[in-house]
Amino acid sequence: MDYIKNYFYVYFNAFYSYIKKYSIVGACDNCCKYLYADGIFFEMEELENKSLRLQYCCKDCLDNHKSKYHFLNQFNFKNENDRKENNCIHKKSFLDIIKFIIKYPEVIKFRSVELLEYIINIKNSNNLSNYHEVFLKDVDNYSIC
C-alpha cells in the first residue's frame, strides 16, 4: 500500500508542478479550456475558496450553462483577473478533491455543474438519509461547496 501512495504522490507532485509553472487556475466548466491567472474569466462569487466555484472562459460559455442549468441564475459571477494570492490551484484543495472522490467514487460521473446541482438538491431535501447527512458533512469538511 505504501508503494501505491508513493507512486500517487510522485505523479501528483509532477502534475501540480506543471499547474504552478503555467499559473493554471482552473478550467472552463463548459468547454474545458484552461484558465490562467493572468487571463480574464467569469467566476462564481458565492463559493469563494471552494472547489466547486464554477468558472467560465467567456460570457458565451456562462450563458450556455445558465440556459441548461437554471439554478445557476441564483448565483453571481464576477468577470475579472484572478487575484494574485490565488494564482494557481492550491495543493490542499486539490488533495481534498481527490480524497472526496476516493470516498464517494460515484461523483466522478457528474460534471462539476451537475455535482453542484446534485449537492444543492440534497441540501434542499427535507428527508435526508444517514448517507446524505454524512455526504453533506464531507462536502463541508473537504470544502467542496
Q: CB under 8 Å to 51, separation ≥6 — which residues?
A: 93, 96, 97, 100, 142, 143, 144, 145
Tell whether 7 is covered by a domain: no
116 and 70 housed in the same domain: no
* Enclosing domain of residue 71: 23-86
Residue 13 has pLDDT above 70, yes or no: no
0.75 surpassed by pTM: yes
Task: Give the burial string for 91-118 (b: 16+ CB within 10 Å, else e).
Answer: eebbebbeebeeebeebeeeebbebbbe
58 and 99 housed in the same domain: no
Distance (Å, rounded) from C-alpha 48 to C-alpha 33? 20
Position of cell 431535501? 125
pLDDT bucket at 133, cuts 50 / 70 / 90? very high
31 and 82 housed in the same domain: yes
Largest Cα–Cα distance of the chain, in whole Å? Answer: 46
Digit-coded pLDDT (tens) for 92-126: 777 888 889 999 999 999 999 999 999 999 999 98
